Chain A
Amino acid sequence: MTATTAPLRLFTFAAPSRFYALIGALVPWCWAATVLLTLAGLYVGFFVAPTDATQGEAYRIIFIHVPAAWMSMLLYVVMAAWAGIGWAFNARLASMLARAIAPTGAMFTFLALWTGSFWGKPAWGTWWVWDARLTTELLLLFLYFGYIALVNAIDDVRRADQAGALLALVGSVNVPVIYFSVKWWNTLHQGATISMTAAPKMAATMLTAMLLLTLAFWAYAFAVIFTRTRAVVIEREAHTAWVGELTQGKSGS
């Protein structure tokens, strides 16, 4: 579908065909940002940030662990929001976007748990403990899997979207619980080092590396989720005229 010459309206990109074209143009930029931010973050994290006084070099896992954990929570909320919008306004594209987000959210949740475990072993002497932070993050992983399984299990696409939206929205209660778990319960996992109200309790160079990789993971999430959204759009809109024109003469590219 070629870009129209009509003026942009608020819901211009709610049309799958237009959104498809838009995100197709954005994906390469997201990848470029991902690569640059990752290189910058890794450089600062390994060559600028000093050794930690207590944990030695093991702390460098933080540069993956915290960004992954933040993305796992952010993506769940975003997924639930789009699913909710799709349900409330019968907006197909919003539901498609929610489905595209889920696997990436699950990936980051798994990565947060894996890196956390690999950090826990040298720091605490154990790969796992059933404290509030770890348990609620594991629950988040199950919620992602549950959402993916549910939407794929129901044949009627609209009903599947609606059921998924309900699960996603109800499950979003877990996200603030994860966040406040270290405050509400006595956990092995350390408390918040970064808050909205106080200065961060970590060295500036360490914080810089962590923030650079957070942005890198965010750019990555856009790139992958947009790619997957393009797949979902084609799958769902396969029988439309615009997809017919798009795929004419293409056997797949």
Chain B
Amino acid sequence: MNWHSTNEFFAMGGYGLYVWGSYAAAAALMLLEPWLAQRRHRQALQDAASAHRSES
């Protein structure tokens, strides 16, 4: 086992800022991006629905 305690794990041998700064950025972007894409899809469906409603 690499880590003898959770503190050790979060400290990352003193490099915690750099390692977790990297992983946090990845997590933030890779959660935000799909949410935005899904939102765009939903919006597109709504816009298309109202466009068709106003035509008929």
Is there an interface contact between B22 and A239, defined as CB atoms closer than 8 Å? no
Is there an interface contact between B22 and A115, defined as CB atoms closer than 8 Å? yes
User: Chain A nearest CB: distance from B51 CB in Å?
Assistant: 6
Q: How many A-B residue pairs have CB under 8 A?
A: 113
Is there an interface contact between B44 and A238, defined as CB atoms closer than 8 Å? yes
Interface of B is mostly: helix
Assuming A58-B12, A220-B30, A235-B44, is B37 touching A228 (CB within 8 A)? yes
Q: Give Cα distance in the complex from A60 to B16, angstroms.
A: 11
Assuming A51-B2, A231-B44, is B33 touching A56 (CB within 8 A)? no
Q: Give Cα distance in the complex from A51 to B15, angstroms.
A: 12
Q: Give Cα distance in the complex from A223 to B38, angstroms.
A: 11
Q: Give Cα distance in the complex from A244 to B55, angstroms.
A: 10
Is there an interface contact between A61 and B19, defined as CB atoms closer than 8 Å? yes
**Contact code string A175-208 (vs B, CB < 8 Å = 1, else 0):** 0000000000000000000000000000000000
Is there an interface contact between B33 and A251, defined as CB atoms closer than 8 Å? no
Is there an interface contact between B33 and A247, defined as CB atoms closer than 8 Å? no
**Contact code string B11-23 (vs A, CB < 8 Å = 1, else 0):** 0111101110111
Q: Give Cα distance in the complex from A246 to B3, angstroms.
A: 53
User: Chain B nearest CB: distance from A183 CB in Å?
Assistant: 26
List CB contacts (< 8 Å) of A209-237 with chain B.
220, 223-224, 227-228, 230-232, 234-235
Interface of A is mostly: helix
Number of interface residues of A (CB under 8 A): 45
Which single member of B2, B26, B42, B52 contacts A243 (CB below 8 Å)? Answer: B52
Q: Give Cα distance in the complex from A235 to B44, angstroms.
A: 5
Assuming A224-B33, A224-B34, A253-B42, is B18 touching A119 (CB within 8 A)? yes
For residue A110, CB closer than 8 A to chain B, the reply is yes
Is there an interface contact between B18 and A68, defined as CB atoms closer than 8 Å? no
Interface centre among B1, B15, B17 (most CB of A within 10 A): B15
Q: List 25 A-B contacts (CB under 8 A).
A: A57-B15, A58-B15, A60-B19, A61-B19, A65-B22, A104-B33, A114-B22, A118-B18, A118-B19, A118-B25, A122-B15, A223-B34, A224-B33, A227-B38, A231-B37, A231-B44, A234-B44, A234-B45, A234-B48, A235-B44, A238-B44, A239-B51, A247-B52, A250-B45, A252-B42
Those 3 A-B pairs whose CB atoms lie nearest each other, nearest first: A252-B46, A247-B49, A57-B13
Report which A residues bind B (CB closer than 8 A). Answer: 46-47, 49-51, 56-58, 60-61, 64-65, 68, 103-104, 107, 110-111, 114-115, 118-119, 121-122, 220, 223-224, 227-228, 230-232, 234-235, 238-239, 243-244, 246-248, 250-253
